[in-house]
Amino acid sequence: MGQVVLKGINKFYESVHAVKDVNLQIRDKEFVVFVGPSGCGKTTTLRMIAGLEAISSGDISIDGNVINALAPMDRDIAMVFQNYALYPHMSVYDNMAFGLKMRKFEKPEIDKRVREAADILGIGELLKRKPRQLSGGQRQRVALGRAIVRHPRVFLFDEPLSNLDAKLRVQMRVELKKLHLRLGTTAIYVTHDQVEAMTLGDRVVVMKDGVVQQVGEPLELYNQPANKFVAGFIGSPAMNFATVTVTEANGSLIAENSGLRIKLPDETAQRLRGHVGREVTLGVRPEDLTVADTADLDHPCFDAVIEVVEQLGSEILLDMKVGEGVMVASIEPTARVKVRDKLRVAMRPSRLHVFDAKTEAAI
Amino acid sequence: MAIAETQVYLPQAPRPRLRLLEDERWLAFVLLVPTLVLLGMFIAYPFVRGILLSVSSARVGVPGDFVGLANFYKIFNDGIFRTSAYNTFVYTGVTTVFKLALGLWLAMLLNRNFRGKAFTRAFILLPFIIPTVLSTFAWKWMFDPTFSVLNWLLYHLGLITSRINWLGDPDLAMISIIIVNIWRGVPFFAISLLAGLQTISPELNEAAAIDGAKPWQRFWHVTWPLLLPVTMVVVLFSVIQTFADFQIVYVMTGGGPANATHLFATYAYQIGIGTGILSEGAAIALAMFPILFLVVIIQLLYIRRVEVR
């Protein structure tokens, strides 16, 4: 079992309110990812769960037992650190065995578990080596192994892949996912990389300035972001935003600013009835923009000038000037476009996001 | 002739002397010369001179003749020399153990986060910064038979009823100079070990805490092994310094009472300079050399082993 519940968690560093009233239920066997920009409180929250940081107020419980006052070692958790935190003077074997030795396991049991974990991670050959004789990826595996051998109720990961190069990171990401499916242990994972969050998490917790912005499955965050921050943070390239004023003309709603004037589709218009005459932020993802042809005539459209063309092979990213602002569109790789082309761009009507200009909450 | 008259304009070549310095071997030599001169003048020459003196019968004003190992034979049969040798070992051994223990303890405390950390760290260094002779004079007053503030304190705390003659009793005098040496040496240990502690990632201690290690186990299994190379260097320096210590004993007791607190250095000074028998003084001073040499070799070998691990 490994059900973790955070109830009204706060953390103050003297006058800084680093984590604000976090409430969260993490189910047994679930893989939950905390994601957000640096300084958002995600690592602090993880460290409070680990017991490495005191909780200013609130309760953390594992399987129904409040663990606020328990020392890290009594919480039945294992943690993988960003810099691996391998003991440099011990061999790989001793690194992995250390936790079991401290817990007074019998030698044969320690040996069995270490070799088992080494097999899973493919580091059986490295057991006699010292950490400094290993590559970054191998060290990361040893750090994972040290966590696995303990058979804890919860795994905590603090940006474990951020020190690896891009290629290795993708590879380890897949392995982590496999490992989680195999072991089925509850995992809490902290990262600032939204791709990692989307690919690894059963659920993702987006944080900013110590406040949880949204908790949900990856696609839920992507398709129904709760506010402008989540919308902009999740997805790459990031969502395009434009501040527009809502006006009414002939019974339909129009969104306009200096360079943009579009008729809002019915579904969006429904939500914006109460905002006529006010400013809102329009959001549309790059892949929901297309070069307009006759088929899209009833879609909301606007004019743009191409400033940069980024050929990625699988797609083309267009940096376009739209009125005063800039938007990015992701279009078919076969499209023939060049810099300074004038385009008519269409938006997929069902994929239009609208946020309150002041509170930034989704409307 | 025509060729010689032709003017050729080339980029101006550097002067020959500067060009010589472009060669790294010459540059290295030039850069090393000041150090070589200093080391030669103040270490190599006196050392060689010391050896020559120790095998002669030189006195102040008397050049003396070559006498072989006669001086060494004489001092090894000298009771005060043996006492000095014994004292030096006790003095070095006891103070090093205490300095290491107290220094490590202080370093661990200073490595924590607390208000006024920077101030405390600077404050800790005071005994190390004050000129030794000056602070030793202050200690001498504190141990003074008549005016001892320590006696006053102990008396008013009701711990003693009569004066303790700190520097008048051979054993107490030895204890007194040991105390002063520890007081003066702890900051060096504390600050050096603190620097060592700060190179150990706090994540290692956190990982060990999660792994189930109690504070003492974390120290023993993680901090201590990682601090060992630094510790060995600090101990090495300290042993060399303490073994050849002079100032504290010279100021506090002058080797007394009745030659009971002489160390190699103070006894060498007394015989060589005080009495004027330069040759014997040199022999006493040189008697330290093989021992120190051995200590340095052993510790350097050990440090290398630890670092290779």
Per-residue pLDDT tens over the stretch B180-203 = 999 999 999 999 999 999 999 999
Among A87, A103, A146, beta carbon nearest to B222: A87
Chain A environment of B204 (Cβ under 8 Å): 85, 87
Which of A269, A246, A255, A264 lies closest to A322 in space, CA to CA? Answer: A255
Contact list in B for residue A81 (CB cut-off 8 A) is 203, 206-207
pTM of the model: 0.79
Sequence-separated (6 or more) residues with CB below 8 Å from residue A17: A10, A11, A210
Select the residue of A73, A87, A130 nearest B209 (Cβ to Cβ).
A73
Chain A touched by B211 (CB under 8 Å): yes
Q: Which pLDDT band holds residue B1 (cuts at 50, 70, 90)?
A: very low
Query: pLDDT, tens digit, for every residue of A259-292?
Result: 788 888 888 888 888 888 888 998 999 999 888 8
All residues of chain B having their beta carbon less than 8 Å from the beta carbon of residue A99 are 210-212
Q: Contact A81/B206, CB-based, under 8 Å?
A: yes
Q: Which residue has the higher pLDDT, B149 or B37?
A: B37
For B217, the closest chain A residue by CA position comes to A102
Contacts of residue B207, Cβ cutoff 8 Å, sequence gap at least 6: A79, A81, A85, A87, A146
Contact B203 A83 (CB under 8 A): yes
Residues of B in contact with A132 (CB under 8 A): none
Residue B2 has a pLDDT of: 47
**Taking a contact as any Cβ pair under 8 Å apart, which residues of chain B between 174 and 203 contact chain A?**
201, 203
Residues of A with Cβ-Cβ distance to B229 under 8 angstroms:
none
pLDDT at A130: 92
Distance CA A176, CA A172 (A): 6
Residue A215: strand, helix, or coil:
strand
Concatenating the DSSP letter of every residue in A156-198 gives EEESTTTTS-HHHHHHHHHHHHHHHHHH--EEEEEES-HHHHH
What does the alpha-carbon distance between residue A257 and residue A273 come to, in Å, rounded to a whole number?
Answer: 18
> For residue range B265-275, what is the model confidence (pLDDT) as tens digits?
999 999 888 88
Query: How many Å lie between the alpha carbon of B208 and the closest alpha carbon of chain A?
Result: 7
State how far the Cα of A123 lies from the Cα of A132, in Å rounded to an integer. Answer: 15
Q: Each residue of B15-58: pLDDT tens digit?
A: 666 777 788 888 899 999 999 999 999 999 999 999 999 998 88
Q: DSSP of B153-208, one letter per residue?
A: HHHHTTS-SS---TTTSHHHHHHHHHHHHHHHHHHHHHHHHHHHHHTS-HHHHHHH
> What contacts B284, CB < 8 A, 6 or more positions away?
B75, B81, B84, B264, B267, B268, B271, B272
Task: Note the pLDDT of residue B126.
Answer: 86
| Sign of the torsion formed by the C-alpha atoms of A115, A107, A132 and A155 | positive
DSSP code at position A72: G
Question: Cβ B213–A102 below 8 Å, yes or no?
Answer: yes
> Does any CB of chain B come closer than 8 Å to the CB of residue A89?
yes
Nearest to residue A142, comparing CAs of A151, A155, A130? A130
Chain B CB contacts of A130 under 8 Å are 309
pLDDT string in tens for chain A (363-residue length): 788 999 988 999 888 888 989 999 999 999 999 999 988 889 999 999 999 998 999 999 999 889 888 899 889 999 999 888 999 999 999 999 999 999 999 999 999 999 989 988 888 889 999 999 998 889 989 999 999 998 899 999 999 888 888 888 888 899 889 889 988 899 999 999 989 999 999 999 999 998 999 999 999 999 999 999 999 999 888 999 988 888 888 878 888 887 788 888 888 888 888 888 888 998 999 999 888 876 666 778 888 899 999 999 889 999 999 888 889 999 888 888 888 888 888 888 888 899 988 888 888
Element (H, E) at A65: strand A65-66
State which amino acid sits at residue A23: N
DSSP string for residues in B88-134: HHHHHHHHHHHHHHHHHHHHHHHTS--TTHHHHHHHHTHHHHS-HHH
Q: Rounded to an integer, what distance in angstroms lies between the CA atom of residue A124 and that of residue A121?
A: 8
Single-letter code of the amino acid located at A213: Q
Encoded tokens for B114: 């607390």
Give the A:B interface size as CB pairs under 8 Å.
60
Average pLDDT across chain B, whole number: 87
Q: Quick one: closest CA in B to A150, which residue?
A: B211
| pLDDT band at residue B102 using 50, 70 and 90 as cut-offs | very high
Chain A contact set for B207 (CB, 8 A) = 79, 81, 85, 87, 146
Nearest to B143 by CA among B48, B298, B261: B261
Residue type, B52: L
Q: Over range B286-298, report the average pLDDT.
A: 88
Q: Give the mutation candidate from A47, A74, A81 for the B interface (greatest B CB count, under 10 A).
A: A81
Look at residues B95, B97, B89, B94 and name the one whose alpha carbon lies nearest to residue B262: B89
